């Protein structure tokens, strides 16, 4: 399906139209803001403590949020950033599908996973509970989580050519009606899952978290009263808007163009390139994706909600601070422009299973545009991927199906005044590494290596975050899916800083030759196959000749760089005088 080059779609969060904020007590508003954030964190803990799969309780591949009746973000817990910014779209799509606000009643729980409405592949399923107080709808609690399976052609896919190959689509239905489970819907969902026990446990975990969120939201309203609550919400959102606008004002006006690149689209092995335009006008920002290519026949298309979300993540992380949790007000200053039928606004039936990978590339591009706009006041580039590899099969010890994998962090770019973080990526910033000991206890896997890679962070006055390698053996046969990106496109440096090591994935069968398959679905493997995942390094910042001698020596002593690397990039730190100064 070809995109219409003249048809554009512009999205901006609803602007404040209320005078309530002016009369809201600032102390009450802050107490309510903190109470709502606490409620979201209680939702998070409920999900972690009751879930069945490592993806939820270890990786945190889910998001929990509270919205008001107008579908405006009130609070979110630190979990999966690339989910959190999409849940407003999920709520709107699900509520519309069941007949609108008037069709909701206390005790309802909606389930929705239509990719063009959720922004994700079908396995990322949103459960939504309308929250009622004194018989009136006051808001929504929502939880979006990655289910291990929903009937796609594989537990993870890199080669789908339409959305119907990517799993069962649930277009917004009631899983619970007035507190009673709709068993026909429940059984239909589980019938399309390869890993039924884990998915059922995770669904019930989501439901538990929704009840916690709804209960806590009602408690806040009952404590302050609905009128005070609504007035304080307006003040909270207005303050969030002010925080972001103050940041944007400090960025020079102009149009900044960033070029983005990916290895391939999962089917064709040709490089993929696109551009993002960032326009700054006073206290307004406009991120324009309309020049992106038409949607691919392969699944690297990012649905509109996740395009908006990726834009929001970057702006919130640049403009926010440690004391500010984003809310809907943060995004009033941002306009996102897309072109329906394009790579960043696919339409049915265009595939979008690998939606997150173009989103990661776009986030890197937006950061690069801000680097140009601010003369280098933002970090250099990261390795730009989450290096996902999934494996599944049947565990011979208990004859039960297994699946494991998940997002892996990479080296982040150096800052203007500090080295880049190791094991961090903006798009999944709060995801956690699954414990290797826990995986070995539960799965047929044996880890052999889990370590930093010397010389992998981009050299500079401030060094890019290091790459690291995970190497393990599979103790039984099965199939693997590799989604590793940016193996050809390294991180970018600034002000004379160098690029970091790119990502890589290698497969070595027992007694065989090592191969790097790239994106692939259902590659069979036998027992004792060895896998190696290299999570790449970040770009450096500034001329390496200006790096502090003590920092070079510390990296040498800690094994983060070799002497050969130091001789090439930091010879000033290896002189006898430098040694004596440090030692």
Do the beta carbons of residue 316 and residue 240 sit within 8 Å? no
- The confidence score (pLDDT) of residue 159 equals 96
Do the beta carbons of residue 118 and residue 124 sit within 8 Å? yes
- The confidence score (pLDDT) of residue 22 equals 66
- The confidence score (pLDDT) of residue 247 equals 95
DSSP letter assigned to residue 70:
T
Please list the residues that pair with 76 across neighbouring strands. Answer: 65
Nearest to 547 by CA among 376, 352, 414: 414
d(CA 238, CA 243): 9
Residue ranges in 292-338 assigned as alpha helix (H): 304-319
- DSSP-derived 3-state class of residue 392: strand
Q: Which residues contact 334 (CB under 8 A, 6 or more apart)?
A: 12, 13, 244, 284, 285, 286, 287, 311, 312, 315
Do the beta carbons of residue 297 and residue 307 sit within 8 Å? no
Do the beta carbons of residue 501 and residue 536 sit within 8 Å? yes
Structure tokens at 136: 């009136």
Please list the residues that pair with 112 across neighbouring strands. Answer: 126
* Residue 339 dihedral angles phi and psi, to the nearest 5°: -125, 110
- DSSP-derived 3-state class of residue 167: coil
Give the dihedral sign, CA 413/417/421/427.
Answer: negative
Do the beta carbons of residue 126 and residue 90 sit within 8 Å? yes
**Angle, helices 26-50/226-249, rounded to nearest 10 degrees:** 90
Structure tokens at 260: 């983005």
Structure tokens at 47: 């999900």
- DSSP-derived 3-state class of residue 452: strand
- The confidence score (pLDDT) of residue 2 equals 45
User: Cis ω on the peptide bond leading into residue 102 (within 30° of 0)?
Assistant: no
- DSSP-derived 3-state class of residue 555: helix
- The confidence score (pLDDT) of residue 580 equals 45
d(CA 82, CA 119): 9
d(CA 490, CA 402): 33
Do the beta carbons of residue 284 and residue 335 sit within 8 Å? yes
Do the beta carbons of residue 445 and residue 475 sit within 8 Å? yes
- DSSP-derived 3-state class of residue 361: helix
Structure tokens at 411: 């080296």
- The confidence score (pLDDT) of residue 323 equals 64
- DSSP-derived 3-state class of residue 50: helix
Nearest to 352 by CA among 392, 304, 319: 304
Structure tokens at 225: 């009263």
Q: Which residues contact 324 (CB under 8 A, 6 or more apart)?
A: 240, 243
Do the beta carbons of residue 160 and residue 351 sit within 8 Å? yes
d(CA 413, CA 366): 14
Whole-angstrom Cα Rg for the chain: 24
Nearest to 409 by CA among 390, 385, 389: 385
- The confidence score (pLDDT) of residue 404 equals 87
d(CA 350, CA 343): 9
> For residue 380, how far is the Cα from the chain centroid?
19
Residues of the chain with pLDDT under 50: 1-3, 580-583
Q: Is the pTM of this model over 0.75?
A: yes
Please list the residues that pair with 463 across neighbouring strands. Answer: none
Q: Which residues contact 508 (CB under 8 A, 6 or more apart)?
A: 514, 515, 529, 530, 531, 532
Do the beta carbons of residue 192 and residue 168 sit within 8 Å? yes
d(CA 167, CA 157): 10
């Amino acid at each position: 399906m070809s995109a219409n080059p003249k048809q554009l779609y512009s999205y901006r969060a609803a602007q404040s139209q209320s005078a309530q904020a002016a009369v809201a007590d600032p102390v009450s508003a802050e107490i309510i803001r903190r109470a709502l954030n606490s409620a979201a964190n209680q939702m998070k803990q409920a999900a972690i403590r009751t879930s069945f799969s490592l993806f939820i309780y270890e990786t945190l591949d889910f998001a929990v949020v509270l919205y008001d009746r107008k579908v405006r973000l009130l609070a979110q817990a630190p979990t999966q950033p690339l989910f959190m910014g999409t849940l407003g779209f999920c709520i709107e799509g699900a509520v519309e599908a069941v007949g609108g606000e008037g069709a909701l009643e206390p005790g309802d729980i909606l389930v929705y996973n239509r990719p063009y409405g959720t922004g994700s592949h079908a396995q990322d399923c949103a459960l939504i509970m309308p929250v009622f107080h004194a018989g009136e709808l006051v808001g929504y609690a929502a939880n979006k989580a990655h289910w291990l399976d929903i009937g796609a052609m594989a537990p993870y896919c890199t080669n789908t050519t339409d959305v119907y190959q990517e799993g069962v689509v649930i277009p917004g239905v009631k899983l619970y009606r007035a507190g009673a489970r709709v068993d026909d819907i429940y059984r239909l969902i589980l019938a399309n899952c390869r890993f039924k026990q884990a998915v059922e446990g995770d669904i019930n975990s989501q439901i538990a978290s929704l009840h916690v969120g709804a209960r806590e939201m009602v408690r806040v309203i009952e404590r302050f009263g609905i009128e005070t609550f609504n007035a304080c919400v307006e003040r909270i959102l207005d303050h969030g808007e002010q925080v972001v606008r103050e940041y944007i004002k400090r960025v020079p006006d102009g149009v900044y163009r960033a070029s983005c690149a990916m290895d391939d689209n999962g089917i064709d092995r040709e490089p993929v390139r696109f551009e993002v335009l960032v326009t700054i006008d006073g206290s307004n920002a406009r991120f324009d994706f309309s020049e992106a290519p038409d949607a691919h026949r392969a699944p690297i298309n990012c649905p509109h909600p996740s395009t908006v979300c990726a834009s929001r993540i970057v702006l919130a992380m640049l403009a926010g601070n440690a004391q500010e949790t984003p809310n809907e007000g943060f995004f009033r200053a941002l306009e996102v422009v897309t072109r329906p039928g394009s790579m960043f606004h696919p339409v049915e039936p265009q595939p979008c299973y690998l939606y997150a990978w173009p989103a990661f590339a776009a986030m890197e591009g937006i950061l690069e545009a801000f680097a140009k706009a601010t003369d280098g006041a933002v970090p250099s580039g990261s390795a730009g991927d989450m290096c996902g590899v999934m494996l599944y099969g049947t565990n011979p010890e208990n004859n039960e199906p297994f699946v494991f994998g998940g997002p892996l962090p990479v080296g982040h770019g150096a800052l203007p005044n500090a080295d880049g973080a190791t094991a961090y990526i903006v798009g999944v910033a709060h995801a956690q590494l699954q414990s290797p000991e826990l995986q070995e206890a539960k799965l047929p896997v044996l880890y052999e290596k889990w370590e930093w890679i010397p010389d992998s962070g981009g050299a500079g006055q401030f060094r890019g975050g290091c790459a690291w390698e995970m190497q393990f053996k599979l103790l039984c046969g099965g199939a693997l899916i590799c989604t590793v990106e940016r193996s050809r496109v390294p991180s970018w440096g600034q002000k004379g800083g160098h690029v970091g090591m790119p990502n890589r994935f290698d497969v070595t069968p027992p007694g065989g030759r090592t191969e790097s398959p790239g994106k692939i679905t259902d590659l069979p493997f036998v027992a004792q196959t060895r896998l190696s995942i290299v999570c790449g390094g970040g770009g450096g910042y500034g001329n390496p000749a200006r790096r502090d001698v003590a920092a070079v020596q510390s990296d040498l002593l800690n094994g983060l760089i070799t002497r050969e690397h130091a001789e090439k990039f930091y010879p000033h730190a290896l002189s006898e005088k430098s040694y004596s100064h440090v030692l």
